[in-house]
Amino acid sequence: MSVIFFSKLMNHEIFVQPSVNQQKTVYKNKVKFLGWESKMAYLALVNTSTNLLFFRVKPALLVLGIFALLFASCGDEELIADVGIPVDTLQTKTSIHYGIVSDSFLVFQSSVKKNELLSHILLRHHIPYSEIDALVKQAKDVFDVTQIRSGRNYTVLCKNDSTEKAQFFIYEPNATDFIVCDLRNEMKVYRGEKEVTEVRREVAGEINSSLYETLMDIDVSPAVAMKLSEIYAWSIDFYRIQKGDKFKVIFVDRYVEDTRVGVGDIQAALFIHRNEEFYAFPFDQGQGSNYFDENAKSLRKAFLKSPLKFGRISSGYTMKRYHPVQKRMKAHLGTDYAAPTGTPILSVGDGVVIEAKYSKFNGNYVKVKHNGTYTTQYLHMSKFSKSAKPGKYVKQGDVIGYVGSTGLATGPHVCFRFWKNGKQVNHRTEKLPPSLPVDRKYLPQFEAVKDSLKKELDVIPFEHNSKEVALAGV
């Protein structure tokens, strides 16, 4: 048989041309070499036109391999059979970036720097201003290039020649989506999405400090705390969660490759607050999914428990409080929620804005009339939202302004006031009216969904734990 060697001194490369009738054996990441398994020898290339097999080996194996092959070529043909690899079973690995075969390109990956514009990036990669202008016009219906943000990842695929001119620019506005700018002859701009794998998780725990810290201890995204606060916004005052409260949650984590990129919907939950159980089961009656308790009653109430998603109560409703600015005792007929300036303030219910103005003591404030019984007011805003205009209808959860310290205030907060039949009352002690329950015609379907999910929740132990089940990629 014939054996041909070629050695490049600097790279220590060996080409071997096997005879046609040799038996071939292929190993992943290693090659069975003359009866020895060498993890040092790796398959790098197959040239199908010449049937040359290309191995990259450590220098120490170079001499050994040459002598071994020379020895084998003079003797037993069977030893040589272990070296050969059938060309028709080998596949060269193709590099693909964002659905583009990138083997023939130079690949540059980076992230947008502070104050960096698209033009700065493309000029570095030899795209002239005239072509950048054409790209901006081409992209306007797909992506506003002025929305490129610092810290976001991008990739540039360039010609593999002396010009190194960019052929593709790919920008990632978030962890799952990307925008491809094809810079070749006929410019094209289009959106794409990475493959996302979903992992269903069952977690449970007992709160010792805060819900956020308890979830972090069991490697659960803080986004789950946000979603729970939204589901139970009408039932549980998350400013009053206490040590010993417990929870069980079934939800979906979303991954791109091995990186967690987000959280899907909560599939079922149980929260035990002050020894009272609050179940939550999603159900769609044809107008989008909402959450209901085990008795098919909606968890959504006419009013949210708080005008902020997160913050802290700095002062409660009381008939006698020492005012920190006026330096005297007086009634405080509202609840103060402290939060950083600029925190969004939400309308706690559907209604019509009847006032949005400034006054000496209230600062910037908004007043919303919900019906003939209830009215709410939000004081000390830093600014109003666009929806906060007298006569405009707002929905529950709409942003009507932002936390500030205008008027008679010592620091950033919102003073939330609640009227019932024209009298200010403590909203935290009010029994608020519920929303509509599951329609009777959908009760059989709801009961089936609820029974299945409740069985899953009830068998999850309260000790800190996490059970994962991989779902199909989406």
pLDDT in tens, the chain (474 residues): 333 333 333 344 333 434 333 333 333 333 333 333 333 333 333 333 333 344 444 454 445 555 554 444 444 444 434 444 444 444 556 788 899 999 999 999 999 999 999 999 999 999 999 999 999 999 999 999 988 999 999 999 999 999 999 999 999 999 999 999 999 988 999 999 999 999 999 999 999 888 888 898 888 998 999 899 889 887 887 777 888 999 999 999 999 988 899 999 999 999 999 899 999 999 998 878 899 999 999 988 778 888 998 778 877 776 555 556 555 666 677 889 999 999 999 999 988 999 999 998 899 999 999 888 889 999 999 999 998 999 999 989 999 999 999 998 888 999 999 988 888 888 887 777 667 899 999 999 999 999 999 999 999 998 755 666 555 455
The alpha helices in 315-465, defined as continuous H runs, are: 443-458
Residues 70 and 136 in one domain: no
Residues 408 and 325 in one domain: yes
Residue 333's pLDDT is 79
Burial (CB count <10 Å: 0-12, 13-18, 19+), residue 253? buried
Residue 144 lies in a domain: yes
Of 35, 64, 89, the one marking the end of a domain is 89
Residue 429's pLDDT is 79
Distance CA 359, CA 344 (A): 20
Residue 153's pLDDT is 96
8 Å CB contact between 438 and 449: no
DSSP secondary structure, 234-273, as one string: TT--TTS--TT-EEEEEEEEEEETTEEEEEEEEEEEEEEE
Residue 206 lies in a domain: yes
Distance CA 362, CA 369 (A): 18
Count Cα neighbours of 417 within 13 Å in the Cβ-side half-sphere.
18
Phi, psi (rounded to 5 degrees) for 434: -85, 170
Residue 85's pLDDT is 45
Residues 342 and 382 in one domain: yes
Residue 286 lies in a domain: yes
Residues 202 and 244 in one domain: yes
Residue 286's pLDDT is 84
Give the residues across from 177 on adjacent strands.
Answer: 193
Residues 63 and 161 in one domain: no
Distance CA 155, CA 121 (A): 10
Residue 283 lies in a domain: yes
Phi, psi (rounded to 5 degrees) for 441: -70, -20
Residue 100's pLDDT is 92
Residues 356 and 390 in one domain: yes
Residue 187 lies in a domain: yes
Tell me, what CATH number does 324's domain have?
2.70.70.10
Distance CA 261, CA 253 (A): 8
Query: pTM score > 0.85 for this model?
Result: no
Residues 447 and 368 in one domain: no
Count Cα neighbours of 129 within 13 Å in the Cβ-side half-sphere.
0
Residue 30's pLDDT is 35
Residue 305 lies in a domain: no
Tell me, what CATH number does 290's domain have?
3.10.450.350
DSSP state of 274: T
Residues 208 and 186 in one domain: no
Residue 1 lies in a domain: no
Phi, psi (rounded to 5 degrees) for 16: -125, 130
Give the residues across from 108 on adjacent strands.
Answer: 156
Of 89, 109, 126, the one marking the end of a domain is 89
State the residue range of the domain holding 453.
197-221+232-299+436-474
Residues 387 and 320 in one domain: yes
Residue 471's pLDDT is 56
Residue 265 lies in a domain: yes
Domains: count for the chain: 4
Of 89, 105, 120, the one marking the end of a domain is 89
Residues 369 and 463 in one domain: no
Residues 393 and 345 in one domain: yes
Residue 51's pLDDT is 38
Residues 124 and 170 in one domain: yes
